[in-house]
């Protein structure tokens, strides 16, 4: 997660996409812990609630899950969920044009 945030889209969306990208590239593997909201906030100099919003998008999508007291982890099958989601978005965009 050494990417740079930009002004093109909301920061929390960029955070969720960075984590997705790391999962797709096998930087983060299934059942591996992802950086905490506080770690992300410190790394990118952002508000922890902004980082949490990005992580919660992934939790809602079933890409991450929470282990109480330990943190957030990559769900089993997360890579396939991301691929399916991005493929659907790609097809939707290409069919709209």
CATH of residue 34's domain is: 1.10.10.10
Task: State percent of the chain over pLDDT 90.
Answer: 81
Q: What's this model's pTM, rounded to 2 decimal places? A: 0.88
Report how many domains make up the chain.
Answer: 1
Digit-coded pLDDT (tens) for 38-69: 999 999 999 999 999 999 999 999 999 999 99
**Contact call for residues 67 and 73 (beta carbons, < 8 A):** yes
Of residues 83 and 93, more confidently modeled: 83
Tell me, yes or no, whether 44 lies in a domain: yes
Tell me, yes or no, whether 5 lies in a domain: no
Tell me, yes or no, whether 68 lies in a domain: yes
Tell me, yes or no, whether 78 lies in a domain: yes
Q: What are phi and psi of 73, to 5 degrees?
A: -135, 155
- The boundaries of the domain holding residue 59 are 11-95
């Amino acid at each position: 997660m050494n990417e740079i945030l930009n002004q093109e889209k909301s920061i929390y969306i960029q955070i969720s996409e960075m984590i997705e990208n790391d999962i797709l590239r096998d930087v983060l593997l299934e059942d591996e812990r992802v950086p905490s909201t506080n770690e992300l906030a410190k790394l990118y100099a952002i508000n922890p609630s902004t980082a949490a919003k990005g992580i919660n998008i992934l939790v809602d999508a079933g890409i991450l899950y929470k282990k109480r007291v330990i943190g957030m982890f990559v769900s089993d099958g997360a890579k396939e969920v991301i691929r399916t989601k991005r493929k659907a978005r790609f097809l939707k965009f290409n069919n709209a044009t």
